[in-house]
Amino acid sequence: MEHTHISLAHGNGGHFMRELIDDLFARHLSNDILNTSTDAATLPVINGEPVMTTDGFTVKPLEFPGGNIGSLAVHGTVNDLAVAGATPLYLSLNAFIEEGLEISLLDRLIQSLADAAREANVRVVTGDTKVVPHGEGSGLYLATTGIGVRATRQALGMHHIRPGDLVLVSGPVGDHGTAVMLAREQFGLRGDLQSDSASVLPLTQALLPLPGLRFMRDPTRGGLASVMHEIRLATGHGIRLQQASIPIHDPVSVVCEMLGYDPLYLACEGRVVAILSEEDSEAALAAWRELPRGNAAAIIGEITTDQPHIVLQTPLGGTRILEELEDDPLPRIC
Amino acid sequence: MEHTHISLAHGNGGHFMRELIDDLFARHLSNDILNTSTDAATLPVINGEPVMTTDGFTVKPLEFPGGNIGSLAVHGTVNDLAVAGATPLYLSLNAFIEEGLEISLLDRLIQSLADAAREANVRVVTGDTKVVPHGEGSGLYLATTGIGVRATRQALGMHHIRPGDLVLVSGPVGDHGTAVMLAREQFGLRGDLQSDSASVLPLTQALLPLPGLRFMRDPTRGGLASVMHEIRLATGHGIRLQQASIPIHDPVSVVCEMLGYDPLYLACEGRVVAILSEEDSEAALAAWRELPRGNAAAIIGEITTDQPHIVLQTPLGGTRILEELEDDPLPRIC
């Protein structure tokens, strides 16, 4: 391409736009279904229950340790399908590109998106690009919509959750939120902490055979605490969490203590929270710990018949109520 | 809701966000599949070929005569499915909302989106909202992804186009682009011209029974001329258009003449360009003219074996070559 930066003409439907789509997007994303000369992709017949989800991405900065907005846009949507018990198949991709964005940066981001899609075994089958004037758009926003398929079997959902069920998490919480925060120059901090951004499909598929599996969710915006509140609201049950059991990487604890954040409210992008019957919880834990991204998995609490609060039991025997998030602890982390 | 304007806390995963989603988005969009307490929607089994498409929307201003970004976000995606020969079924919705946007305006836009979806008989089954800081985002960007179904029958596509085939358009071109332009205060112009934004599904379904139907496209960004260039590039054939046959509303001609735009490059959001065999073209024209939104339909040109140019034949017998769009004639019209 003759340009080094995105201009408004890359969004006008003419030949610069076609060049951008063919030379950059289609070059990375090429597969047997994507056809940039049609506006709609024809998919193979879907055998089973189709599942659909969507997510928007506005992370700042666009690149951070452990990932970037491109890989995140795949993981976010793939993970929403995975925790619904589905196998992700197809993605659509929307890019809102800011005038002036370096084309070499855009190229890296889309290559990373393509790599993440290949790893998760999903194909980007259709897309659209819009260019917005310099000063709007913060470089790049992405939106992805995912289609997956689920064998019609045991349905998962919060309405299956019962008192006595246990709460599991697949790995340390708050890495993504903390890594993105550290990548912002405004904090003047540097660390070697990486985002946990990844496909959770191996983790969710490991639990699907267990009949006591009630519900799974990836704790993104609002973190682990917000998933707990969603369960509380939907079920009317309380949840008691054991603080000492919740895995948290040391650098996350340190940074959060310095800056006054609670890691239980910070986003993960590659973790799963699962609720299982007590009898199946040990099997779930064992299955997760065999996986490379599940070796720090833990049983962290249980569903109670107490007052419908989220109660954190501290190591010294005290308790603290985890309130619902009001102010934004950390904007623009996904 | 206790707020009158969107704040960053409406995007953080906490209870303001849930209020915004439940009290505003879900209230308008409610249907039997949408469930705001899950991240993924389970769809009924799709009988036939699934078709998937996506579109982003950054129109400025957000409201314009004849529509707004909400209705446009439905029509744009529904129409991409319709011109692919499919029946639209489901939409996903992404909203990138700028901090400070009036909630009453957002409410109007999403209500209009919901009305357009009901009219087109599609259901919004999943969605996501992100809030971006004041100064980014221009109020609201939307992205919709659509899933439709197509009976596996005659395939449509540019590769079916042959010399001698005729070019039809379902109605006057350039209304949407001109209406949006007039709605911008910067031009200081006012008129009663309305955007043509609408579902084209009745128009496309009217042509599907015709065996001579080769290809359909809705001429959005870049207008009629850009669709012609896409065909030229894909087929290597030239196209000869009869200027006098191309329907254009008088106010569009007048405004374009005043401001130096060519209506053939301006976006429509409710028109169809169709290529048919000569023998089926009259039947197509008759079918369109019976429809309320097709009464000004016209046969406007033919595919030629001439030089691969888009040639406009003027009423006085002269010819003009329609070049491919380079600069943006009119940014942010969709």
Q: Which two tokens stand for residue B153?
A: 């029958």
Indicate the angle between helix axes A175-183 and A250-259, nearest 10 degrees.
Answer: 60
What is the per-residue pLDDT for B189?
Answer: 67
- Give the pLDDT confidence of A44-59 residue by residue, as tens digits: 999 889 999 999 999 9
Contact yes or no for A147 and B234 at CB 8 A: no
Residues 6 or more apart whose CB falls under 8 angstroms from that of B222 comprise A12, A13, A14, B229, B265, B267, B325
Q: Is A60 helix (H, G, I), strand (E, B) or coil?
A: coil
Total residue count of chain B as it appears in this document = 334
- Give the pLDDT confidence of B232-259 residue by residue, as tens digits: 999 999 999 999 999 999 999 999 998 8
Give the residue on A whose Cα is nearest the Cα of B325. Answer: A14
Contact yes or no for B125 and A13 at CB 8 A: no
Residue B80 has its nearest CB partner, among A40, A44, A81, at A40
Residue B58 has its nearest CB partner, among A40, A132, A150, at A132
Look up residue A224 and give its amino acid.
Answer: L
ipTM: 0.92
Report the C-alpha dihedral over residues B135, B92, A73, A334, rounded to 10 degrees. Answer: 50
Beta strands in B27-133 (DSSP E): 40-42, 49-57, 63-64, 67-68, 87-98, 123-132
pLDDT band at A188 (very low <50, low <70, confident <90, very high): low
Q: Is B205 helix (H, G, I), strand (E, B) or coil?
A: helix
Q: pTM above 0.90? A: yes
Give yes or no for a contact between A270 and A72, defined as CB atoms under 8 angstroms apart. no
Q: Which residue has the tokens 């899950």?
A: B38
Output the CATH code of domain A158-321: 3.90.650.10
How far lies A114's CA from each of A97, A105, B14, B195, in Å?
17, 14, 31, 37
How far lies B81's CA from each of A79, A96, A206, B77, B115, in Å?
27, 21, 37, 7, 18
Q: Which long-range contacts (CB under 8 A, 24 or more apart) does B152-159 make?
A: B152/B48, B152/B49, B153/B85, B153/B208, B154/B211, B154/B213, B156/B84, B156/B85, B156/B213, B156/B214, B156/B215, B156/B216, B157/A38, B157/B214, B157/B215, B158/A37, B158/B214, B158/B215, B158/B230, B158/B231, B158/B234, B158/B235, B159/B234, B159/B235
Q: Which residues are bridge partners to A217 per DSSP? A: A273
**CATH 3.30.1330.10 location in chain A:** 8-150
List CB contacts (< 8 A) between A177 and chain B.
Answer: none
How far lies A257's CA from each of A262, A274, B88, in Å?
8, 27, 51
Residue A136 has its nearest CB partner, among B38, B137, B230, at B137
- Give the pLDDT confidence of A138-170 residue by residue, as tens digits: 899 999 999 999 986 667 899 999 999 999 999
List CB contacts (< 8 A) between B130 and chain A.
Answer: 56-58, 141
A8-150 homologous superfamily:
PurM-like, N-terminal domain (3.30.1330.10)
Contact yes or no for B50 and A49 at CB 8 A: no
How far lies A70's CA from each of A198, A319, B8, in Å?
12, 40, 23
Best B47, B59, B94 residue to mutate vs chain A (most A CBs within 10 Å): B94
Lowest mean pLDDT among A81-95, A180-194, B26-40, B83-97: A180-194
**CATH 3.90.650.10 location in chain B:** 158-321
Give yes or no for a contact between A120 and A78, defined as CB atoms under 8 angstroms apart. yes
